[in-house]
Amino acid sequence: MAQQAPKTREETIKQDVHDLHRLGYAQELFRTMGGFSNFAISFSIISILTGAVILFDYGLAWGGPAASTIGWPLVSLFTLLIAASMAEIASAYPTAGGLYYWSSRLKGKNWGWWTAWFNLAGQIAIVAGIDFAAAAFVNTAIVTPILSNFNVAFSNSTVLLGPAATPWFNGQLLTMAGLLAIQLVLNVAGVRLLAKLNDASVWWHIGTVAVIVFSLFLISSGKAHSTVSPFAFAPQDVQGGASLFGGSFTFGSAAGYAIPIAFLFSLLQAQWTYTGYDASAHVAEETVGARRSSAWGVFISVAVSAVVGYVVLLALVTHLPPMEMVFGSAVGGVCPSTATYCSQYYLGQPVVWSTLQYNLGALGDVLSAAIAVAMSLCGLASIAAASRMLFAFSRDHGAPASGWLRHVSHRFRTPANSIVGIVGFSFVLTMAAFIFGGSTAIVIVTAISTIALYWAYGVPIFLGVVGKQDWRGQAVWSLGRFSKPIALVAVAWIVFISVLFLWPTSGNPYTLLAYLVFLGFLVVYFFAWARRRFKGPVVEVGELELTEIEQEFERAAEEIAGA
């Protein structure tokens, strides 16, 4: 039997468009991403130099070094099962709606509506958490040192509005606003630019990790290091005094909890890092060979992050400064002023930053700046994925102001209005968390984004087992007979982490309260409006009408080019 010749790029795109038409949508977005770019956007959002770094201190405070050396591979294993289950369904339904569309087809429009709102809330919260923390790192590693050369005092804690004790707006929020503005412009500018930046982000992350690891193991500072074993279940905040970035981050106290329970709370460090890999599904309408590329993008982004993340975390926990130096009184003592390694310069800084500077000096400062750039690229990719999700939901009239949000720029072929919406909502959420949660804002935002996103992941995975099964005949990426057992384990893990991360640790009820308010709003909204009026992803036009929509975009592009 003669072997069939591989399809050309043009033939593959033609098949992608045909698949999209079958799902009921026109090719409005610009399909130019290759398989690597599809993987790159999820890898950039997972960003081991963002999540693992931002909450490295949190994991250390609650679980000790074991949060990284044992917690990371544990969470990685279960996350790979979740990603594998998602990849199967993604290969059957290659559309920007992603999770929302899957649930709608597997069980019905109401399931899709709830999935959409969990996904949307998680996407907005993850953009908020990433850019809020990225701003802190950008200030610490780049902005503050530069401005100090001009005798300008500016830091994360610089109060710009409100009382000094409980500010409404500070230096960290100002820098976050600047980052969001830049990311908005780059996202609107076009998918080709975005793909190139995400491709570069992959190599930036891997290159920075390589330099960190080799530098820590090859360059010895000759200074005293932490005597705590890298694999020790030893919570480092036993006094409740750990606070970083001038008090912007407060992690609470592990005192009062049994060590195994405190360790479980520390898993938020790894689990929040593993969010956003649904991005590969959300950009399916912009990906060539979307069925396979999106599925592999979801799975491989988690697999690569698991390996690269563990390498950098192992390097960090084996080169920690003495704990009293980075956590101060939180470990039950005060850094002695007579010790040769001790300096107030390190207190109040993120542990990763302290560790790099302590071991590597000026090179550590450069690497901290590189991490700040990686975090900013992570925020850029997160906005891209979130805006596609909001666009797809609005295309089916599911979100308020859908008529405005579903608009696609004729010049750039990007969902420009949805991009603006995601940026605006994310900043408002951060402001609210900062004003009401104060120093616990980052924990509130990260916990909410983790739980909401994983509920959005869990619903279609569960429905893939108990809902309609015709999708399996359309999937080109399959787990075979292991599909249902893996899916059930994945759902069980999502239920477990939901209870874990909503638990009001250290007298902080804000995460649970905020999530209950969110769920209450959705219940009222659903029964008052969505249950009767929301129609779901209904195919209202045929192939001819969809082709006419696409031709309209082509004519607009020609007019713009000729202007």
- Can you read off the two tokens belonging to residue 323? 């704990």
**Residue 251 banded pLDDT, cuts 50, 70, 90:** low
Yes or no: say if 379 and 134 are a contact pair by the CB < 8 Å rule: yes
Lowest mean pLDDT segment, chosen from 9-13, 34-38, 204-208, 446-450: 446-450
* Phi and psi angles of residue 551, each rounded to the nearest 5 degrees, phi first: -65, -30
**Rounded mean pLDDT of 127-145?**
88
Residues in Cβ contact with 298 at an 8 Å cutoff, skipping those fewer than 6 apart: 42, 83, 86, 87, 90, 277, 278, 280, 281
Tell me: pLDDT of 507 over 60: no
What's residue 66's pLDDT?
95
Tell me: pLDDT of 551 over 80: no
**Rounded mean pLDDT of 347-369?**
82
Residue type, 385: A
Tell me: pLDDT of 136 over 80: yes
Mean pLDDT for the chain overall: 85
| pTM recorded for the entire structure | 0.89
CA distance 115 to 121: 10
* Phi and psi angles of residue 159, each rounded to the nearest 5 degrees, phi first: -80, 125
SS3 content of the chain, % helix, strand, coil (to 5): 70, 0, 30
Tell me: pLDDT of 539 over 50: yes
pLDDT in tens, 45-99: 999 998 888 788 888 888 889 999 999 999 999 999 999 999 999 999 999 878 9
**Rounded mean pLDDT of 265-294?**
91
What's residue 89's pLDDT?
95
* Phi and psi angles of residue 70, each rounded to the nearest 5 degrees, phi first: -115, -45
* 3-class state of residue 305 by DSSP: helix
What's residue 340's pLDDT?
45
Write down all domains in the chain, each with its CATH number in brackets: 9-562 (1.20.1740.10)
Lowest mean pLDDT segment, chosen from 6-10, 309-313, 419-423: 6-10
pLDDT in tens, 291-303: 999 999 999 999 9
What's residue 349's pLDDT?
66
pLDDT in tens, 285-329: 989 999 999 999 999 999 999 999 999 999 999 999 887 777 664
CA distance 435 to 254: 25
**Residue 338 banded pLDDT, cuts 50, 70, 90:** very low
CA distance 537 to 31: 21
